[in-house]
Amino acid sequence: MHQRSLLIAALLAGVRAQQAGTMEEEVHPPLTWQECAEGGECTEKSASVVIDANWRWLHSLEGSDNCYTGNTWDEELCPDNKACAAGCALEGADYAETYGITAEADALTLQFVKGENVGSRTYLMAEDDESYQIFNLKNKEFTFDVDVSKLPCGLNGALYFVSMDADGGQSKYEGNKAGAKYGTGYCDSQCPRDLKFINGEANVEGWEPSESDKNAGVGGHGSCCPEMDIWEANSISSAYTPHPCDSVEQTMCEGDKCGGTYSETRYAGTCDPDGCDFNAFRQGNESFYGPGNTIDTKSPMTVVTQFITADGTDTGKLSEIKRFWVQNDKVVANAESNVEGVKGNSITSEFCTAQKTAFGDDDIFAQHGGLEGMGDALESMVLIMSIWDDHNSSMMWLDSTYPEDADASKPGVARGTCEPHVGDPEKVEGASGDATVTFSKIKFGPIGSTFKAPA
């Protein structure tokens, strides 16, 4: 009797939940990476990746009716946030067939358009395949190879870290029964409001379908957290960018108070949506990165990022984010900034302050904690690899002139050689659906352990 009432209680509890579907088994594509030790000896980790919940088929718990189609919610299954989470299930994914995601040994390839699907976002799982792999990046070095040769203007093949919960928020929010296994719990420094679930609840209340994106919309809630963009790039331009937030953990925000790209008020939130970016072209070296340039994007390259602390310990204050490149066995230092008043070839507090002044931007980065705040968040981070196009500004902030009506000779306006609007989603989705990015040979360890540093 007691056993039985416990079981019923458990079943009832289970009903109030963002559920996991049972029609297609969720099998994560396997991906290996290397954890390196002082001296450079590396150990192989057998892990996998998981696709984010937003891309999945969301259907009725008991059947196969869509809870969400295109960019609208089913009014009966999803009358409000809680009922929707209780009555809808996220389904397992066919990674290669539906999403164009393929993994082979240490390499992950993401195809831009596959059938009806556009873009994807994947998270590295821990070896147990139950939770996301957590990285503490302070006083550490992160290295990977990337092939952007098939990634044109307007696309972004991104590798970055955000401070998501390791279990996707499953233990914090009883409404979330799907957990990391189904790619839940996303957050970033734009406090995205296009997520279908946040904190174990749906985001149907206040949802406005997008006018330009047949697969997306903006809901009443957003999901904020610090973001460390190690790599936002295509074959024309690349940038690395810390984005701190007031809280080092994921937090839910309300409506336009979220700030970021999805809100009317960009700077209203608790995160820094702009960040402090290092893009060689924007810093005045137009021949450093690109096809046929110093770093030639026609071939794969190795990208090294070092998170240096002031006292050289894992708990010290973050003082510098340093970049090296390796191509054809040659280690290349990052480009030096050529912008008047902005010195250096790495991200430091001095660089960021000088850059904001030179480009005439408000220092939102410093207002939300700056480099030190970013460092606090780096102690617990999840690795993301994604491919996307940009419905808000056609990726012009990365590879073209932006703001588009600004004078391109003014410092900070020119970011790459792409013509404005070649990255408009309807154009790139039509013309460049077969574009891909391949990330491989991920290595992580103490400074100097993942590549042969210059003497």
Ligand X SMILES: *[C@@H]1O[C@H](CO)[C@@H](O)[C@H](O)[C@H]1NC(C)=O
Closest CA to 225 of 391, 18, 356, 380: 380
In angstroms, what is the minimal distance from the CB of 275 to ligand X? 17
Where would I find the beta strands (DSSP E) of 237-371?
Answer: 238-243, 251-254, 289-290, 295-296, 301-309, 318-327, 330-333
In angstroms, what is the minimal distance from the CB of 296 to ligand X? 12
Matching residue, tokens 């110093």:
294
In angstroms, what is the minimal distance from the CB of 55 to ligand X? 21
How many whole angstroms separate alpha carbon 22 and alpha carbon 179?
A: 15
Residue 129: burial class (beta carbons within 10 Å; 0-12, 13-18, 19+) = middle
In angstroms, what is the minimal distance from the CB of 435 to ligand X? 22
Where would I find the beta strands (DSSP E) of 313-431?
Answer: 318-327, 330-333, 381-388
C-beta closer to ligand X: residue 99 or 397: 397
Confirm whether 232 is a catalytic residue.
yes
Confirm whether 127 is a catalytic residue.
no
C-beta closer to ligand X: residue 109 or 334: 334
Which one of the listed residues 227, 340, 350, 426 is annotated catalytic? 227
Residues at the site binding ligand X, with contacts judged by CB under 6 A? 261, 263-264, 285, 287-288, 294, 335, 338, 392
Closest CA to 431 of 376, 389, 384, 383: 389
In angstroms, what is the minimal distance from the CB of 288 to ligand X? 4
Locate all alpha helices (DSSP H) within 63-176, ordered by sequence: 81-87, 95-99
Which one of the listed residues 26, 91, 141, 232 is annotated catalytic? 232
Where would I find the beta strands (DSSP E) of 255-355?
Answer: 289-290, 295-296, 301-309, 318-327, 330-333
Which are the catalytic amino acids?
A: 227, 232
